[in-house]
Structure 1
Amino acid sequence: MPLQHGVFLAPYHPNEESPTTWLRRDIELAQHLDKLGFAELWVGEHHSGGFEIIASPDLFIAAAAEVTRRIRFGTGVMTLPYHNPLVVANRIAQLDHQTMGRVSFGFGPGLLMSDALMMGIDPEKTRDMLLEAIDVIVRLLRGESVTAKTDWFNLVEARAHLLPYSQPLEMAVASAGTPSGGRAAGKFGMSMLCVAASQVGAFDVLASNWRIANEVAAQYGNTMDPAKLRLVAPVHIAETREKARENVRHGLDRWVRYYDMASPNPFPKDGRDPVDILIDSGRAVIGTPEDAIAMIERLRGKQGQFGVFLAQHVDWADWDQTMKSFELYARYVMPHFSGANANRIATYNVMAERVEEFKALRRGAADKAFAQHEANQLKVG
């Protein structure tokens, strides 16, 4: 199965620097990835914590789409329990038209407890709210008139103002460690976005969550497509492992402090270097293009075939080194999986194997040309 490559942008921007500068840089990142040939850029939604500063992924995508040519975008993810489903359906349909079909609609229940609590939402109810919203949004985007009432929204003969530009519009459910994402994807026949694929715990259940998605899909007459399965893992690469380790010293400790607050799984406090913890656990790539290739192969070994690998952008390195990391990824990791250089290598090997034969032929051709020249000179004389 062909493997596509993209980037997952939460983002994780340091809260002592200008948010304006970082938002402009995120647009520049989209342009950079587009030029390098990345297939996708997924953008998150968050409302607290100070680091993940994009509150509206669709607003960001609308801007980025205007200054890029071919890269696709995904809402990664839109938090449905925070929004009226009719408004969401209208926003995503409009975005699909504005981008002329370059958007995938990803959604989930939300991961930051602080977001939910600020809105008076019980975090234990968000997964149920997600399913209620999906059911309505799917019907709205099919063009149906929907009347539905729950304890958090009320729609009366609601109808989406626009139908999507794309038919069908790709929809993707976020999946982490629990089986709820896989069950939702199977029930509605949607794509899956495994946002924590390399994390301890989530990595262990990759295959089982996919199996659950397929089992539920069969119950509802749907078929899961592994080409629409996306796995996310943090990646920073450089020319050498030593250089990559040096690069991430720029922002790794700051990220670890934020991760400890935002994640239900605290970062280990055992005195080891955080770089070693991330590498040894398989949580992240901090190394070379070969290490990124090994990470993807490891995920394949656990999951089986999947369609898209999303390198998570985590602001561990400074801006220039981060841009270089994505360039190295495009130069070395992408062609490894696409086989883009297969014929180049094959023809090079043929030349190397027959080098003496080719040299002899070239010498023979040159000798013949000189002999012909001398013969012509004699005739003229």
Structure 2
Amino acid sequence: MELGYFSMPSHPPECGLKEGQDWDLQTLRWLDELGYQEAWIGEHHTAPWEPHPAPDLILAQAFLQTKTIRLGPGGFLLPYHHPAELANRVAMLDHLSNGRLNFGVAASGLPSDWAMFNVDGMSGQNRDMTREALEIILKLWSEPAPFTYKGKFWTVTKPDTMFDFLKPHIGPQQLPHPPIGVAGLSKNSDTLKLAGERGFIPMSLNLNPAYVGSHWDSVEVGAAKTGRKPNRRDWRLVREVFVADTDEEAWKLSAGDMMGRMMGEYFLPLLGHFGFKDYLKHAPDVPDSDVTVDYCARRNWVVGSPLTVTEKIEQIWHEVGGFGVLLVFGFDYKHKAEAWHHSLSLLKNEVLPRLKHLDAGMPKAA
């Protein structure tokens, strides 16, 4: 098992935009120093608790401030970008990263973002646009000959050489392209089917482990369409994690601090508006009113001493049938920076060595 990080990025609404980015960069530097494998930075446009509209602005700085960690958007919201422009921008970022870029893509799930960009998310238009945009981007990177792609949402031309010297010339450093990751939330997730279909990295967002187990089914359904055999080592699970020296201290710093505040003020109400609280329940008959911060912390979060966290992660691993990378869900702890750094350090140095026997490439019973 390996460790990574998934950041929306999350900041309380009173946090300044630069102040929030400075914290994110500090965290990325720590992750690099601690030997985390990767980190993913989200994109949102109308959520004060998820305030960053351009993950590549963080990434361009972070690549200069880190040495080995792989970084990527988690992900670019493809319905809101012209595919040709984004293809060039991502390719350039791959060169700036010196080949450390992961290319995360997503369909966008916030109705307020849909409204800003006039995308009909209720009909699934966002998912259709995501598939088409990604197809165009990959074609621009892989097809050397001139072409015109006429899609439902975009018409894109890769022109032939003009005036003897003007021609498309920007392609990624990593060939045929940077590793592509897609995140999924819902049951029968279309994006996770896409991951299986195209051999992309599947990422399951922070839900109840009993629910997340169904996500791998979506990956396998997609893989079956193209005759692929997906590998559970590629599967990323996003979890809320806080490790401290004792269970009591970890609980106080998580449910009793910024993790609890963000979940209580933003994430739980948001899921409630969508009717998505079922995704957090350990059983279908649990009333929505019972799905509180305390319930999520006890049932879904990975909080406690190194020994407790080790036991919880191993339990989740077996419940879902095995996965390859645990992605720590990012929170804004700049007011208690040492505690957040200590948590990341304990997870890497004391918990992970106890989990090395978990190999997602082995049969489930292993």
Alpha carbons of structure 1 residues 200 and 303: separation in structure 2 relative to 1, 3 Å:
closer
Alpha carbons of structure 1 residues 34 and 122: separation in structure 2 relative to 1, 3 Å:
same
Q: Which residue of 1 aligns with 2:135?
A: 135
CA displacement at 1:284 relative to structure 2: 1.2
Secondary structure (helix, strand or coil) at the match of 1:148 reads strand
Q: Which residue of 2 aligns with 1:378?
A: none
Alpha carbons of structure 1 residues 61 and 160: separation in structure 2 relative to 1, 3 Å:
farther
1:240 matches 2:249: no
Secondary structure (helix, strand or coil) at the match of 1:318 reads helix
Q: Which residue of 2 aligns with 1:207?
A: 216
1:163 matches 2:182: no
**TM-score (structure 1 length as normaliser):** 0.80
2:190 to 174, 180, 183: 180
For residues 176-216 of structure 1, give each alpha carbon's deviation from its aligned partner in whole angstroms, at most 9, with x where no partner exists.
Answer: 223312221233222212223x3367424133223213322
Q: For residue 181 of structure 1, what is the amino acid of its counterpart?
A: T
1:274 matches 2:302: no
Contact 1:90–1:160 (CA under 8 A) maintained in structure 2: no
CA displacement at 1:42 relative to structure 2: 0.7
Q: Which residue of 1 aligns with 2:301?
A: 284
Contact 1:189–1:217 (CA under 8 A) maintained in structure 2: no
Alpha carbons of structure 1 residues 195 and 205: separation in structure 2 relative to 1, 3 Å:
same
- For residues 24-39 of structure 1, the aligned pairs below 5 Å read 24-39=22-37
Percent identity of the aligned residues? 27
1:217 matches 2:226: yes
Alpha carbons of structure 1 residues 271 and 306: separation in structure 2 relative to 1, 3 Å:
closer
Contact 1:237–1:292 (CA under 8 A) maintained in structure 2: yes
Larger mean Cα displacement after TM superposition, 313-322 or 86-95: 313-322
Q: For residue 28 of structure 1, what is the amino acid of its counterpart?
A: Q
Q: Tell me the distance in 1 between the aligned counterparts of 2:268 and 2:181.
A: 27
Larger mean Cα displacement after TM superposition, 263-272 or 239-248: 263-272
Contact 1:94–1:162 (CA under 8 A) maintained in structure 2: yes
Q: For residue 136 of structure 1, what is the amino acid of its counterpart?
A: I
Q: Which residue of 2 aligns with 1:149?
A: 150
CA displacement at 1:228 relative to structure 2: 2.2
1:324 matches 2:331: no
Q: Which residue of 2 aligns with 1:17?
A: 15
1:301 matches 2:301: no
Alpha carbons of structure 1 residues 223 and 136: separation in structure 2 relative to 1, 3 Å:
farther
Contact 1:245–1:287 (CA under 8 A) maintained in structure 2: yes
Q: For residue 154 of structure 2, what is the amino acid of its counterpart?
A: F
Contact 1:239–1:288 (CA under 8 A) maintained in structure 2: yes
Could you tell me which runs of 5 or more consecutive residues in structure 1 were left unpaired when the two chains were aligned: 340-381
Contact 1:96–1:102 (CA under 8 A) maintained in structure 2: yes
Q: For residue 331 of structure 2, what is the amino acid of its counterpart?
A: V
Give RMSD over aligned pairs.
2.3
**TM-score (structure 2 length as normaliser):** 0.83
CA displacement at 1:57 relative to structure 2: 1.3
Alpha carbons of structure 1 residues 271 and 209: separation in structure 2 relative to 1, 3 Å:
closer
Could you tell me which runs of 5 or more consecutive residues in structure 2 were left unpaired when the two chains were aligned: 160-166, 281-286, 358-366
For residues 124-159 of structure 1, give each alpha carbon's deviation from its aligned partner in whole angstroms, at most 9, with x where no partner exists.
Answer: 311111111121112112144442233432212358
- For residues 250-261 of structure 1, the aligned pairs below 5 Å read 250-251=257-258, 252-261=260-269
Contact 1:94–1:164 (CA under 8 A) maintained in structure 2: yes
Q: Which residue of 1 aligns with 2:117?
A: 119
1:53 matches 2:51: yes
CA displacement at 1:235 relative to structure 2: 0.7
Q: Tell me the distance in 2 between the aligned counterparts of 1:79 and 1:262.
A: 19
Contact 1:250–1:318 (CA under 8 A) maintained in structure 2: no
Larger mean Cα displacement after TM superposition, 255-264 or 35-44: 255-264
Contact 1:227–1:306 (CA under 8 A) maintained in structure 2: yes
For residues 294-353 of structure 1, give each alpha carbon's deviation from its aligned partner in whole angstroms, at most 9, with x where no partner exists.
Answer: 3332332233333211011133783332122111112212222347xxxxxxxxxxxxxx
Secondary structure (helix, strand or coil) at the match of 1:102 reads coil
Q: Tell me the distance in 1 between the aligned counterparts of 2:209 and 2:22.
A: 33
Alpha carbons of structure 1 residues 115 and 57: separation in structure 2 relative to 1, 3 Å:
same
For residues 36-95 of structure 1, give each alpha carbon's deviation from its aligned partner in whole angstroms, at most 9, with x where no partner exists.
Answer: 111111110111110112211122111101011111112111111111111111111111
Q: For residue 193 of structure 1, what is the amino acid of its counterpart?
A: M
Q: What is the aligned residue count?
A: 331
Alpha carbons of structure 1 residues 160 and 318: separation in structure 2 relative to 1, 3 Å:
farther
